[in-house]
Amino acid sequence: MSEAVIVVGIDGSEGSRRALRWALEEARLRGTIVEGVTVWPARGTDPNITGQQAEHARRHADEMQRHVIDGVLREFDAPPTVSYQVVHGDVIEVLLRMSTDASLLVIGSHGTSSVRHGALGSVSEALARLADCPVVVLPVPVAAPQHGGLATTQSGATPPSAGTP
């Protein structure tokens, strides 16, 4: 990977879709490419699965990743180049390893009710502390007060701008 790569974690969640959208906009501004990374098995599942279960988990991760990337890319008229890979391992370890060669690591927050992880989830907290490149964590949008019967959302994230290094 070259230094002009924005790595984005994709796990199928709405948070990872937000992260991919943001990364694509930022890559367009920077003139870089996006590397989508999905790690399997999913966090919280048995890391030692083998045989048919392992093949099923890998295929599921690949299909989910393609679905997310294809869906988000359809929202863009002229998206930057996107490459992608599905990697076996622990999500934190894999993304930390990828941060070594990345110019930016982008992930979406899932939100949490834990007091310990009040601002960030365990994955985003670890990546923000340990990554070898800058990390952008896209927060969960919060519902703004209703005005005239219409609810609006605010993400709290600053949109990409040409002034971003």
Q: What is the CATH number of the domain that holds 65?
A: 3.40.50.620
Residue-wise pLDDT tens digits, 49-86: 778 888 898 999 999 999 999 999 999 999 999 999 99
Mean pLDDT calculated for residue range 18-34: 97
Position of tokens 């969640």? 13
* Domain assignment of residue 72, yes or no: yes
Tally of domains within the chain? 1
The pLDDT assigned to 2 comes to 47
Mean pLDDT calculated for residue range 105-117: 69
Residue 111, pLDDT > 90, answer: no
Instruction: Provide the residue range defining the domain that includes 70.
Output: 5-154
* Domain assignment of residue 162, yes or no: no
In whole angstroms, what is the distance from residue 54 CA to residue 40 CA? 9
Question: With bands split at pLDDT 50, 70 and 90, how would you rate the model's confidence at 113?
Answer: very low
Beta strands in 5-124 (DSSP E): 5-9, 33-40, 82-88, 104-108
pTM: 0.79
